[in-house]
Structures are given as structure tokens and as C-alpha cells.
Amino acid sequence: MENKCNAVIFDLDGTLWDARDCACDIWNRVFDKHEEVNLRMTQELSSSLMGKTMEEIGDVLFPELPVEKRREITDEAGVEEVNYLKENGAILFKGMEDTVCQLAKKYDLYIVSNCQDGYVPAFLEAHGMESYFKDIEMSGRTGKDKGHNIKLLMERNGIENACYVGDTEGDEKAARFAKIPFIWAAYGFGKAKAPDAVIHSITALPEVLTM
């Protein structure tokens, strides 16, 4: 990449792990508790929701329901999801742990996700990765979108040269908003329009960062 970075900020879903299977099970159990919901969560639907905030997910899934009911359902699913993932974890992309361990020796690593509060800590705790990441931020904690949260995290940590690694067009837009390079994780769940670099496996990231 043209701009060298000394900090790498990651998206989580579709970039570091794949939690869709457990998410489908959890969301469908929650749906079953609410007779107003006539919907099943599938991997395809779950993939299409990646990168959205919980509020946006509720708006997409239940446009016919009152806002309060949408929030009730998504909040319930969010809590159950965090509790499950904290204990059980999810599927890590091949080579992710070794790559993160390697990168942490040279770069400051961070995570910014449009997830509910507690979701990123659940990932870190379940897979014993707390020591690799200097700081995290979540839309569920700040109420802000990903672009603002990237800027917030950078300001909080005094970061000047960073890049963002993610798998969706929303991630790309967030990086553009924060005025940092975007590396598209093409192995994930989404698409990108004009990324600064592309990786087809997370194991390719160390080399891309030196280009």
C-alpha cells in the first residue's frame, strides 16, 4: 500500500471469525418466542446483515413491527449471542491466530465492529486473544456508526497511521470516512468497490502491509 501504517484496525465478523451458524440458531430461538415474527434466520440472511448495527438489523428484519418491539427482539438476541459466544467461541478463519500473533509483534492491533456491546470481548475471551489487541470499540457501546468509532478509537489511542481490514462495502465506507486505507478481506461475506488492497486469506495480510 502507498501509505504505511503502524496500527491495524480489524472488523470482526467475516474478517477474523465466522459466527453465522451459532447466530442462526440463537436468533431462531428468539424468533420462536415472539409470535409476531414469521421469519427464519439463515446463513444467507445472516451474511447479508453483516456490518449493520443491531438497530439496522431490526429495521431490516421487522419493518412492520413497532420500533420498540424491534429493539426488544434484537436486544434479546444480542444478549443470548454474547453469552453463547463467550463460552463457546465461533469458527476462526484459517491461520487467523498465527497471523494476529505475528502482526502483534510489529503493529498495534485494534478491533472496531458494528456489533452489540460485549460481542468483541466475547470473541477475545473465548479464544484467549485479549493480549493481542490494544483497544476495541463497538457501536452497541457508543451508539455511533463504524466510521465515527474508528475515528474515536484513533483519537483515544493517539493513532496517526492506521489501516482498516474488513469484508464489506460498509467497512470500506467507514475507512473512507476515517480517512485511512481499506484492505478488503475478500474471503469474507461482502464486497468492496475500490479497496486500497485485497487479501484472499488473512495469512496474506503481513505481506500486504509491507507493500
Is 119 in the same domain as 59? no
Q: Could you tell me which of 119, 123, 177 has the C-alpha nearest to residue 146?
A: 177
DSSP, collapsed to helix, strand or coil, labels residue 125 as helix
pLDDT of residue 109: 99
CB 141 within 8 A of CB 156: no
67 and 114 assigned to the same domain: no
pLDDT at 2: 54
Q: For the chain, how many structural domains are there in total?
A: 2
Residues 77 and 99 in one domain: no
In the chain (211 residues long), the average pLDDT of successive 10-residue segments reads 83 95 92 93 88 89 95 94 95 98 98 96 97 97 96 97 97 98 96 97 97 81
CA distances from residue 47 to 34, 42, 128 in whole angstroms, order as listed: 23, 8, 25
φ, ψ dihedrals at 17, nearest 5°: -150, 170
Contact between 105 and 3 (Cβ < 8 Å): no
Contact 57, 74 (CB under 8 A): yes
Per-residue model confidence (pLDDT) at position 96: 98
**pLDDT score, position 49:** 87
Host domain of residue 35: 20-88
150 and 82 in a common domain: no
pTM of the model: 0.91
